[in-house]
Chain A
Amino acid sequence: MTTLTRQDLNFGQVVADILCEFLEVAIHLILYVREVYPSGIFQKRKKYNVPVQMSCHPELNQYIQDTLHCVKPLIEKNDAEKVVVVIMDKEHHPVERFVFEISQPPLLSISSETLLSHVEQLLRAFILKISVCDAVLNNNPPGCSFTVLVHTRDAATRNMEKVQVIKDFPWIVADEQEVHMKEPRLIPLKSMTSDIVKMQLYVEERAQKT
């Protein structure tokens, strides 16, 4: 058993790599399950040893990758409190918010031979929960779109500045209407606690979607 701190070599990077890879799969799957895009653009792949649906639309894939490239430095520094996939109606009002609440321990106890497979098992459970979440959610109105919000601290935004310029992918402060939803119904989907990250996923669903 080895104890590392956040300052040790690559600890934050490893966690950020794992989480961003997971978030990429999760975002594709949410867009498929909640029918934000036509099902024809999705192809079945295997991730975390389970089948998932991933988009093959180049522009959409690039958009998701650019988004997560910008979020990654925040996760690396433990500055991303929440990553939220928001599904919005035609009027750009949120109808569903998939909230990934993330926290990382300041100290890390590693049993390296079991660590990755254990985390993979935990993340697989999230993927499986997302893939069946339509059973507990109401249908969305036609013509929905999506965006990704990141909850962070003002001082941490400097960690994003460089990558925003490199990727030519600027970020702005969200409007109140993009962040909050009136009297949402809360649906907890999954939570996990591992040596490297704690995460919980819940959905906030607008009571009246149409």
Chain B
Amino acid sequence: EKTELPESSASDKKVVLLPCRNPPSRERVQLWLEARKQYESLQRGR
């Protein structure tokens, strides 16, 4: 279970943090890439 970022304290304990959000997935990026290629191809056809 992930826990909330600890509240500020005088503690000097080491912690490892990571962003709560995930980066875009490979599939999402792949869809964007295909859409961009289609758009560029349409632009060239005009």
Contacts and interface: CB of A to CB of B under 8 A. Distances in A.
27 contacts: A36-B26, A37-B29, A38-B29, A40-B33, A59-B29, A60-B29, A66-B19, A67-B19, A145-B22, A151-B14, A152-B16, A153-B12, A153-B13, A154-B6, A154-B14, A157-B8, A158-B8, A160-B17, A170-B20, A170-B21, A171-B18, A172-B2, A172-B3, A172-B5, A172-B20, A174-B17, A175-B1
Interface in A116-137: none
Contacts of B24: 57, 59-60, 63
Interface string B1-45: 111111011111111111111111110111011000100000000
Contacts of B23: 60, 63-64, 145-147
Contacts of A178: 16, 18
Interface of A: 36-38, 40-41, 57, 59-60, 63-64, 66-67, 70, 81, 143-155, 157-158, 160-161, 164, 169-175, 178-179
Contact of B3 (A60, A170, A173): A173
A146 B20 CA distance: 13
A63 B21 contact: yes
Interface of B: 1-6, 8-26, 28-30, 32-33, 37
B38 to A, nearest CB: 13
Given A152-B14, A171-B18, A157 B26 contact: no
A190 B10 CA distance: 35
Given A57-B24, A152-B15, A172-B20, 14 more contacts: A38-B26, A67-B19, A70-B19, A144-B26, A149-B17, A153-B14, A155-B9, A161-B5, A169-B19, A169-B20, A171-B5, A171-B18, A173-B3, A173-B5
Contacts of B14: 81, 151-154
Given A38-B30, A145-B26, A169-B21, A174 B9 contact: no
B5 A157 contact: yes
A14 B2 CA distance: 34
A143 B2 CA distance: 23
Nearest to A153: B12
B37 to A, nearest CB: 8
